[in-house]
Amino acid sequence: MFDAIVIGSGMSGGMAAKELCERGLKTLVLERGRKLEHGTSYTDSLQPWELPNAGGIPEEELARDYPIQRQCYAVNSATQQYWVKDSEHPYETPADKPFSWIRGYHLGGRSIMWGRQTYRLSELDLSANARDGHGVDWPIRYADLAPWYDHVERFIGVSGEAEGLPQLPDGQFLPAMPMTDGEKLFKAAVERQFGDRKVIMGRCAHLTEAQPQHTELGRAPCQYRSLCERGCSYGAYHSSLSSSLPAAERTGNLTIVTDAIVHSIITDPATGKATGVRVIDQNTRAATTYQARVVFLCASTIGTAQILLNSASAAHPRGLANGSDQVGRNLMDHVYGPSVQAIMDGPETYYRGRRPNGLYIPRYRNIAGQEEPYVRGFGFQGRVMRQGWRQMAGSAPAVGAALKDQTRHPGPWLAGLAGFGEMLPNPANRVTLHPTRTDAWGLPQLVIDCSHGENDRAIGRQMLEDAKAMVRAAGGRIVRETARLHPPGLGIHEMGTARMGRDPATSVLNRYNQAHEVPNLFITDGAAMASSGCQNPSLTYMALSARAAYHAAEFLKAGTI
């Protein structure tokens, strides 16, 4: 019998486990994938000339086993171990509605491969549903989250600059990474021409200066290698393996069980409470049950929905905590795909090191009020770097000494911008259990039915137009532009399948991320999100996790759950 079970060891589960352990709760973390060791499991020591197959996963294997995962930018032979084989983890989509579910099943989950961009939601975001009527009102506001953002940021370490922007609140920042001279020029040009826009340094979960709370966990400052998605042996970016699980471990309250696929959550019909979790060993297929006083479900947005739907019982015929019929619905990702690249004139300077971070352009549309023909808004990630050897080698025909000479020098400045737009919650975008098909462990397969709506497409169109205008303002000559929206999922910011809300009839979770119908069940991963904002969401998941862990511990103490 544990005090708490945390299902999932990724970004949310790691933080929930740390907070629960630090509050004195004997906590079991269940991870469906295999164990990874911080450092020894990583591939960050591989030199460019040591990459298996020069970085390529054998093509027939890639096509057979990774038809979805291969769409992700970070999939290569150095990171292959971190991605599921789609062939072993099938799901279904309608033929005309592809959904790219990008995932990794191992201790630490996607916190090992995440993009590390770290932004707060703002009052504007948390009041959006109430303002325009899409989705249901968030039961919390910025003031509820702000102290937990502070708390999480101090612990994980976030590099960034305070800007004083209400739509992108400042946080507890370590020193920002400086801009290149090309970026400074781009920033000046954009801000001069567009009074409503700011070009800022990206905020990322990297230690630019390690603080005592980081070094005591063995974390060291960023070495500017940009090999992050291979795992960082320095622990320079926050992950469950480098940071939250070690913090949980040192309390003496943590137990981790890997290879443990959660089948369902068990509830007691007499009390209505969760009593434990049914687990299948992914290797032996042996079934086990673990019991606890409180359950945190952090299996990732889609995995969490699957577990809830598969936990149906007489008292919960539609799935656990699903009286509202909102479990699995309102699946969102960020509107993603539109991007531009432009060659820019700029200062005759270069840089040293590989900065694992870029520029950010916070949202500027629909800030003061509803001004556009669409609701909500978007931001951009970007960078201005010199063209590298690959682009220079292919930039013009050349052979022999001429090719070497063409490739040997840093190329011209290349500006790149990619938009991230807010996707509206839509109950028709949903995850359901397949009526007949099961996976290798006998669990129902998922059907994912999700597509962009007209507002999402309008945001995509505006993102491209704005990106073009901004690079042109900096004198850029556009060399590549992409209008197409990627399939939802490929932003890898999926969220919304067990939303928070004020009304149990229309939402799954209350203001504490506590299931309306199961008082000792807390869901703190992306599933909880009532709207998507346009900011990278991991920080919010962690803040919700830490906050919910506090309240769960208080409720246990008070005997109310």
Residues 205-224 contacting another protein, CB under 8 A: 222-224
Q: Which is nearer to another protein, 144 or 161 (CB)?
A: 161
- Tell me which residues in 402-461 interact with another protein (CB under 8 A): 403-404, 407-411, 416-418
Q: Is 393 in the site for another protein (CB under 8 A)?
A: yes
- Please provide the DSSP assignment of 296-340 as one string: EE-S-HHHHHHHHHTT--SS-TTSTT-TTS-TT-S-B--EEEEEE
Question: Alpha carbon of 272 to those of 200, 407, 457, 511: distances in Å?
Answer: 49, 67, 42, 19
Q: Is 350 in the site for another protein (CB under 8 A)?
A: yes
Binding pattern for the stretch 268-307 against another protein, x by CB under 8 A and - elsewhere? ----------------------------------------
Q: How far is the CB of 451 from another protein (least distance, A)?
A: 21
Q: What is the C-alpha to C-alpha distance for residues 448 and 433, in angstroms, rounded to an integer? A: 9
Q: How far is the CB of 173 from another protein (least distance, A)?
A: 16
Question: Alpha carbon of 484 to those of 30, 65, 155, 334: distances in Å?
Answer: 38, 26, 38, 14
Given a contact cutoff of 8 angstroms between Cβ atoms, the answer to whether 372 and 462 are in contact is yes
**Residues contacting residue 520 through CB under 8 Å, at least 6 positions apart:** 273, 274, 293, 294, 295, 552, 555, 561
Q: What is the C-alpha to C-alpha distance for residues 289 and 28, in angstroms, rounded to an integer? A: 12
Count Cα atoms within 13 angstroms, Cβ side, for 202: 22
Q: How far is the CB of 142 from another protein (least distance, A)?
A: 25
Q: Is 357 in the site for another protein (CB under 8 A)?
A: yes
Q: Which is nearer to another protein, 389 or 441 (CB)?
A: 389
**Residue linked to tokens 């690079």:** 471
Angle at 535 between CA 529 and CA 539, to 5 degrees: 65
3-state secondary structure of 12: helix
Q: How far is the CB of 101 from another protein (least distance, A)?
A: 16
Q: How far is the CB of 147 from another protein (least distance, A)?
A: 28
Q: Is 351 in the site for another protein (CB under 8 A)?
A: yes
Q: What is the C-alpha to C-alpha distance for residues 555 and 4, in angstroms, rounded to an integer? A: 13
Q: Which is nearer to another protein, 139 or 489 (CB)?
A: 489
Given a contact cutoff of 8 angstroms between Cβ atoms, the answer to whether 362 and 168 are in contact is yes
To 10 degrees, what angle do helices 181-193 and 454-473 make? 110
- Tell me which residues in 84-143 interact with another protein (CB under 8 A): 115, 117
Q: Which of 349, 372, 461, 503 binds another protein (CB under 8 A)?
A: 349
Q: How far is the CB of 484 from another protein (least distance, A)?
A: 12
Q: Which is nearer to another protein, 33 or 358 (CB)?
A: 358
Q: How far is the CB of 416 from another protein (least distance, A)?
A: 5
β-sheet bridge partners, residue 204 = 117, 159
Q: Which of 219, 355, 365, 376 binds another protein (CB under 8 A)?
A: 355
- Tell me which residues in 10-49 interact with another protein (CB under 8 A): 45, 47-49
Q: Which is nearer to another protein, 276 or 411 (CB)?
A: 411
- Selected range binding another protein among 13-21, 249-257, 339-347, 516-524, rule: CB under 8 A: 339-347
Q: Is 382 in the site for another protein (CB under 8 A)?
A: yes
- Selected range binding another protein among 53-61, 421-429, 446-454, 494-502, rule: CB under 8 A: 53-61
Q: Is 477 in the site for another protein (CB under 8 A)?
A: no
Q: Is 354 in the site for another protein (CB under 8 A)?
A: yes
Q: What is the C-alpha to C-alpha distance for residues 280 and 411, in angstroms, rounded to an integer? A: 54
- Selected range binding another protein among 59-67, 264-272, 314-322, 510-518, rule: CB under 8 A: 59-67
| Phi and psi torsions of 537, nearest 5° | -95, -10
Tokens matching residue 146? 């702000």
- 119-139 as b/e, with b when 16 or more CB fall inside 10 Å? bbbbebbbebbbeeebbbbbb
- Tell me which residues in 173-212 interact with another protein (CB under 8 A): 177-181, 202
Q: Is 73 in the site for another protein (CB under 8 A)?
A: yes
# binding residues, another protein (CB under 8 A): 81
